Amino acid sequence: MSALLAIRNLSVAYGGIQAVREISLEIGEGEMVCLIGANGAGKTTTLKAISGLIAPSGGVIHFSGRAITRHAAHDIARLGLTLVPEGRGIFPRMSVAENLLMGAYSRRDQTGVQHDLEQVYGLLPRLAERHGQVAGLLSGGEQQMLALARAIMARPRLLLLDEPSMGLAPLMVQAVFDIIRQIAASGVSVFLVEQNANLALKTCARGYVLENGAITLSGSAAALSTNPAVRIAYLG
């Protein structure tokens, strides 16, 4: 399997605080991979560094064979790497439809954009019903669906997801993760950061464990699920 994303010895520092310390990982074409760890382990920082929102202090990031380590976030997004941030990051005063079209802001294929919009509405009929509604009035689960749908509109090759289950009721978590699986089934690679380690390992094929900014374990989801250290620390 070829590596769509390859990270080597990535480090990120905030002043004198080393948030991420020389981590290396890979994500293949069409693969679902998770990154699990406690609060403050450096998971969100890792995603921000990959997507160009913060500059690494060391290491290299390659996407589709191309070095993107210090590229601007908007340039990285145009390459097909899309982040759904923690907290969703929707535009609350814009309508559902306007939020979705913002996901396609860099595209010039208007026919394709319209086609994808119809596909999104077919996948998520709740958004179709609320297409003219102000996004800030949606429920938390509907806002998470909107954030995912907006990402789909960018036609990503790799989707970075930061805590998609956060703050959602169990039934809505199930609905959101059903959508994530459908996105992955369409051929999009997924890198999932999720504090709910049990859910993450059930969803993904492989995983990495991040502790205090360093990767301490990696392997298949099945192997990590039965690892005694993982079970004690994250699976209860």
- Domain range annotation of the chain: 1-70+193-236
Q: Looking at residue 195, what is its pLDDT?
A: 86
pLDDT tens-digit readout, 54-79: 999 999 999 999 999 989 999 999 99
Phi, psi (degrees; rounded to nearest 5) at 148: -65, -45
Provide the pLDDT for residue 1.
54
Residue 33's nearest CA partner among 195, 124, 160 is 160
Run of H or E residues at 47? helix 43-50
Q: How far apart are CA 65 and CA 120, in angstroms?
A: 30
Helix (H, G, I), strand (E, B) or coil at 26: strand
- Residue 46 confidence (pLDDT): 97
pLDDT at 194: 92
Give the architecture (CATH level 2) of 1-70+193-236: 3-Layer(aba) Sandwich (3.40)
- 24-38: pLDDT as tens digits: 999 999 999 999 999
Cα angle, residue 133 at apex, residues 127 and 137 outer, rounded to 5°:
95
Does the pTM exceed 0.85? yes
Q: Chain centroid to CA 47: how far?
A: 8
pLDDT along the chain (236 residues), means of 10: 90 92 97 95 96 96 95 94 90 96 89 93 93 94 94 95 92 93 95 94 97 97 96 88
